[in-house]
Amino acid sequence: MSLKGRTGLFGGTFNPIHIGHLRVAEEALRHFGLREVVFLPTGVPPHRAVDEGVPAEARYEMVRLAVAGHPHFSVSRIEVDRPGPCYTVDTIAAMKELHPEGIAYIVGADIFSRIETWHDWPRLLRSCPFIVAPRPGISPATFRRPPFDRAEVHLLPMPLIAVSSSEVRRRYREGLPVEGLVPPGVDAWIRSHGLYGVRGGS
């Protein structure tokens, strides 16, 4: 099935958003002919607390700064404003109502490989096509086996991006350079708000 003209939904904690996230969105947009990519920062994740307790509003603002000026990227508050845990299956159902052109969910291979830990995962797998970005240590063959045979899975053909949010947080905590890892506007916001143990103006 062609994904051309659909809206890509890119969910995540984005703690913080980094250049790897933006590159995945750009490649998905280009390769599959998506209409746009909507970033969906998670409000309250169902699996575990957000590392370092960074609130949803702060993560939303970092994503907003990161996508500002990109003509085909936007950010939604649908999960940020939802009370209680955010379940992807519910978000997809709501976004399908808003996007009659059709949607596709963009996700990293490492996270998608653990689909059976997600809420109502059998229904989730049937809910929309998935665009899966490569991640270190996860074989593409994973998504040719059950339970992924229940889903429409499109592997995103792009080079591996090793950067992760946890690595970015570590670099901030340890005072290491982050140039080229996070958008400049996001970096300035993190420093001005003292996130991840960084001192303002450092």
pLDDT per residue over 52-93, tens digit each? 679 999 999 999 999 999 999 999 999 999 988 889 999 999
**CA 182 to CA 16: how far, in whole Å?**
8
**CA 51 to CA 93: how far, in whole Å?**
27
User: Predicted confidence band at 201 (pLDDT cuts at 50, 70, 90)?
Assistant: very low
pLDDT per residue over 152-177, tens digit each? 999 999 999 889 999 999 999 999 99
Q: Does the pLDDT at position 13 exceed 50?
A: yes
Grouping H, G, I as helix, E, B as strand and the rest as coil, residue 132 is strand
pLDDT at residue 198 in the model: 87
pLDDT at residue 200 in the model: 52
In Å, how far are 74, 85, 119, 194 from 82, measured between CA atoms? 18, 8, 16, 26
User: Predicted confidence band at 50 (pLDDT cuts at 50, 70, 90)?
Assistant: low
Q: Does the pLDDT at position 202 exceed 50?
A: no
User: For 36-56, what is the mean pLDDT?
Assistant: 81
The domain made up of 7-197 has a fold known as Rossmann fold (3.40.50)
Are the CB atoms for 194 and 77 separated by under 8 Å? Answer: no
pLDDT per residue over 91-121, tens digit each? 999 999 999 999 999 999 999 999 999 999 9
**CA 195 to CA 87: how far, in whole Å?**
26
pLDDT at residue 161 in the model: 87
Grouping H, G, I as helix, E, B as strand and the rest as coil, residue 80 is coil
User: Predicted confidence band at 199 (pLDDT cuts at 50, 70, 90)?
Assistant: low
Cross-strand bridge partners of residue 36: 7
- Which is higher by pLDDT, 46 or 166? 166
Q: Does the pLDDT at position 2 exceed 50?
A: yes
In Å, how far are 20, 120, 176 from 7, measured between CA atoms? 19, 23, 36
pTM recorded for the entire structure: 0.94
For residue 55, what are the contacts with CB-CB under 8 A and spacing of at least 6? none
Tracing tokens 């404003």 back to the chain, one arrives at 81
Written as six digits, the tokens of 59 are 């993560």
**CA 63 to CA 15: how far, in whole Å?**
9
Q: Does the pLDDT at position 185 exceed 70?
A: yes
For residue 81, what are the contacts with CB-CB under 8 A and spacing of at least 6? 43
Domain layout of the chain by residue ranges = 7-197
Are the CB atoms for 135 and 112 separated by under 8 Å? Answer: no
